[in-house]
Amino acid sequence: MQIRNGRDFWAGLMFMGFGLWFMVVSQNYPMGSAVRMGPAYFPTVLGGMLAVLGAMVFFRAFVSKFAHPLKVFTFRPLLLVAAIVVGGATYFYFAESQLKGAPMLQILQSALAGLSLFLFIGAFGPRSMFLILLGVVIFGYALKPLGLVLATVILIVISALAGHDFRKKEIVILAVILALFGVLVFVKGLGLPFNLWPGE
């Protein structure tokens, strides 16, 4: 048996994984009956269908007439394992009761969750994807504490680094223009409730 089509191989695994995951998680909810369907009924059926289709795609990878290498995109398994370890530890270690009234622990938990996410994103694909999505997530979490202007500058610089040729001067000008545009259009014009500077 030889894998002929790498794309089908991974796609099949992905669909099977999603299908089984939805099926397994559904079992925490009441199933109900065909007459009165519980919250688990529809997702269990769909999850099963997805897993079967995934298996079809998976086995097709061995007989496909389209040949495609197994390496579809860069994949760094070590980072994925690290992401799962950090993420799992964060999820199970911090109890809800423990976090209440302990700001330091909350910050630690958020930081670890963020680290896990970045390790996860970094496990797949090219450097440019990591940088863009990194910029996006940082923008999301920085917008409130740092304000629109600084968050914009950070996002523009990080995402510009993802490109092929990074020209410092150009990016600085772009960041300034877009920050100004954001303030005038989003905040003054459209009235979106963003603060402009830190601590406002």
Partner 1 sequence: MDFALIHNLGIGFGVALSLQNLMYCFFGVLLGTLIGVLPGIGPLATIAMLLPVTFNLSPISALIMLAGIYYGAQYGGSTTAILVNIPGEASSVITCLDGYQMARQGRAGPALAIAAMGSFFAGCVATVVIALFAPPLAEVALKFGPAEYFSLMVLGLVGATVLARGSLVKAIAMTILGLLMGLVGTDVNSGIARFAFGLSELSDGIGFVIVAMGLFGFAEIIINLEQGASREVFVNKVTGLMPTWKDLKSSSGAILRGTAIGSMLGILPGGGALLSSFAAYTLEKKIGDPSNFGKGEIRGVAAPESANNAGAQTSFIPLLTLGIPSNPVMALMIGAMMIQGIAPGPQVMTERPELFWGMITSMWIGNLLLVILNLPLIGMWVKLLTVPYRLLYPSIVLFCCVGVYSLSNQPFDVMLTAVYGLLGYIFVKLECEPAPLILGFILGPLMEENLRRAMLLSRGDPSVFFTKPISGVLLGAAILLLLITLAPAVRKTREEAFVE
Least distance to partner 1, CB of residue 36, Å: 7
Rounded to 5°, the CA angle 93-95-98 comes to 115
**Minimum gap (Å) between residue 82 Cβ and partner 1:** 16
Amino acid at site 172: V
Of 30 and 198, which CB lies nearer to partner 1 in the complex structure? 30
118 closest CA partner among 76, 65, 178: 76
112 vs 171 by CB, closer to partner 1: 171
Q: Which is nearer to partner 1, 49 or 111 (CB)?
A: 49
Q: What's the min distance (Å) between Cβ of 75 and partner 1?
A: 10
Please state the φ and ψ torsions of residue 75, each to the nearest 5 degrees.
-135, 130
Write down the least CB distance from residue 69 to partner 1, Å: 12
* Nearest alpha carbon to residue 175 among 162, 191, 157, 192: 157
* Tokens, residue 63: 């007989």
Which is nearer to partner 1, 75 or 85 (by Cβ)?
75
